[in-house]
Structure 1
């Protein structure tokens, strides 16, 4: 996909500076299981705010330049497949999802509470976000995963600073913000630089577990499965399997998939998967020993090359 509107929006980011934008930085703290994080605005000096603006603009300019040179490509988001290093995935979050809720909260920045350094908030930090508010154009949000190693006050050792040839102990919390960005909200699109971090940021695995039964029901309605109780048990106990199943459940081909087409692939590729029963009672057999072969079969993961005639088992793919 070309994402022409997004490309235009990225090019427009090249002109962002202190004369046409303001900067707000928020820390996001976990509030409870399966609940969106709470956002807290930071009070900053002008110098620190300018540092965050520079990081944001440099990130967006680099993405625009890399796209122009062909070093990076924009691809549609697929949560179940690995992200290749030259790919930046693009996603429009579903209404009610954690990223959608967070973006909605950021759209009302003045109403967010000011960060007060409460120990409970600090101990539950999940990410920080740089909000660029433009005088002309929609707001831009850049997200970065936060880890406890970025808060020096957590160190068990002595933390010191050096000035005027003298070392002095630091007793107040010191926060480290690196120059990396995991995802950015631009012109109605979530641009994902690091998908694994994006999933951690926005509690993707929690949402997968929340919707596990719906996903399983979609798969079972499309494909009759023998040993289905074991299949459900194995899936619900493994977030990675559920993530792959959620991708399969969203495939456009799923409603047209038949046992006959699956059996043809099983036979042609000599897969350790069988079909049992007769007539309308035929089912594909789930064997826990070969769960990943079973999942790749459902995910259309056994492909052939038209140019070489070779056959492949793939762990990720993109439709053309």
Structure 2
């Protein structure tokens, strides 16, 4: 699945004829509730038109597909990963079949999912899913909204308006996910919980090397810091990094001195002495081997993205 594939399918089914379903989802913590409203074919037509325009714009912008990075991607890129990466993909998809019969209040909608059926009637069902974080319409401090119907203006209740802007935060098909907005994607899926699982796995590796005094406090502080959790998740994608941290730990005091890091060591320089949260960034970047010095110009630097 790529942008060309999405554009092709949206062109083919630009008149959805009942193929498009809409799902309102409320997410509180890691828990979900959903409601599946009835949507007229005219509204379906407009939604598909907006989605198609958005995909065409992204394709014409020559966005490059890159592997998912917890730190995000550049403005000229979009991220790709397998659906099992997010941990609870199937739970979100199943909300279509487990939706409540009671109508959801508009101000409770966390995000909206548009599901487009892209198979012929004689074929096995296949769906494209488009995800968009709900952006609530700003209430006016005084007054009200009006809509003109047959030359007459009627009052519209602001708490009954749902904004559909055509923007896309994520798309899924089969076992692939595309992310265009990382922060929204984290709020749609339980990525933060998945990241914590990954971070905990890394911290267990760190524990086995016995290189950090006051390890339990260090672990809890790491798991309580979203930025550090993302950094540890990146480490988890390459199991060699922590092995290198352990096997080359003799170089750690030199790196700490060269880059003036907020890291102190025991007398024989075999362990880091963890004291407080102000050290988390420097210690975890050291663990990632993120500090470097260039060969040509002997410049010092730090890489916390790749």
TM over 0.5: yes
Structure 2 CA distance for partners of 1:45 and 1:237, relative to 1, 3 Å: same
How far has the Cα of 1:265 moved from its partner?
A: 3.2
For residue 55 of structure 2, the aligned residue among 52, 56, 60 is 60
Structure 2 CA distance for partners of 1:115 and 1:311, relative to 1, 3 Å: farther
Structure 2 CA distance for partners of 1:285 and 1:206, relative to 1, 3 Å: same
Q: Structure 1 CA distance, aligned partners of 2:65 and 2:185?
A: 16
Structure 2 CA distance for partners of 1:199 and 1:187, relative to 1, 3 Å: same
For residue 34 of structure 1, the aligned residue among 30, 33, 38 is 30
How far has the Cα of 1:216 moved from its partner?
A: 2.8
- Alpha-carbon contact 1:56-1:130 (below 8 Å) kept: no
How far has the Cα of 1:209 moved from its partner?
A: 4.8
For residue 290 of structure 2, the aligned residue among 301, 315, 320 is 301
Is structure 2 residue 170 aligned with structure 1 residue 170? no
For residue 274 of structure 2, the aligned residue among 265, 283, 286 is 286
- Alpha-carbon contact 1:41-1:112 (below 8 Å) kept: no
- Alpha-carbon contact 2:205-2:242 (below 8 Å) kept: no
Q: 5+ unaligned residues in a row in structure 2: which ranges?
A: none
How far has the Cα of 1:184 moved from its partner?
A: 0.8
For residue 161 of structure 1, the aligned residue among 121, 146, 160 is 146
User: Normalization by structure 1: what TM-score?
Assistant: 0.77
Q: Structure 1 CA distance, aligned partners of 2:86 and 2:184?
A: 20
How far has the Cα of 1:195 moved from its partner?
A: 0.5
How far has the Cα of 1:33 moved from its partner?
A: 4.1
RMSD of aligned Cα (Å): 3.2
Residues 217-265 of structure 1 show CA distances to partners (whole Å, capped at 9, x for unaligned) of: 2332356212213312322332332232232233333333321354453
- Alpha-carbon contact 2:83-2:175 (below 8 Å) kept: no
How far has the Cα of 1:297 moved from its partner?
A: 1.2
For residue 260 of structure 1, the aligned residue among 239, 250, 255 is 250
Q: Structure 2 CA distance, aligned partners of 1:15 and 1:165?
A: 35
- Alpha-carbon contact 2:196-2:229 (below 8 Å) kept: yes
Secondary structure, counterpart of 1:251 in structure 2 = coil
Structure 2 CA distance for partners of 1:50 and 1:304, relative to 1, 3 Å: farther
Secondary structure, counterpart of 1:78 in structure 2 = coil
- Structure 1 residue aligned with 2:68: 77
Q: Structure 2 CA distance, aligned partners of 1:159 and 1:57?
A: 32
Residues 113-138 of structure 1 show CA distances to partners (whole Å, capped at 9, x for unaligned) of: 4764244xx44321001112112594
Structure 2 CA distance for partners of 1:306 and 1:26, relative to 1, 3 Å: farther
Q: Structure 1 CA distance, aligned partners of 2:42 and 2:260?
A: 64
How far has the Cα of 1:50 moved from its partner?
A: 0.6
User: Normalization by structure 2: what TM-score?
Assistant: 0.80
- Structure 2 residue aligned with 1:25: 22
- Alpha-carbon contact 2:86-2:190 (below 8 Å) kept: no
- Structure 2 residue aligned with 1:9: 5
Is structure 2 residue 88 aligned with structure 1 residue 98? yes
Alignment length, in residue pairs?
A: 295
Residues 31-81 of structure 1 show CA distances to partners (whole Å, capped at 9, x for unaligned) of: x5433x2333221111110111112222333333333xxxx21111111x2
Secondary structure, counterpart of 2:35 in structure 1 = strand
Q: Residues 212-291 of structure 1 correspond to what in structure 2 (within 5 A)?
A: 213-222=200-209, 224-252=211-239, 253-258=241-246, 259-276=249-266, 278=268, 282-288=270-276, 289-291=278-280
Residues 13-33 of structure 1 show CA distances to partners (whole Å, capped at 9, x for unaligned) of: 364234677211111123x54
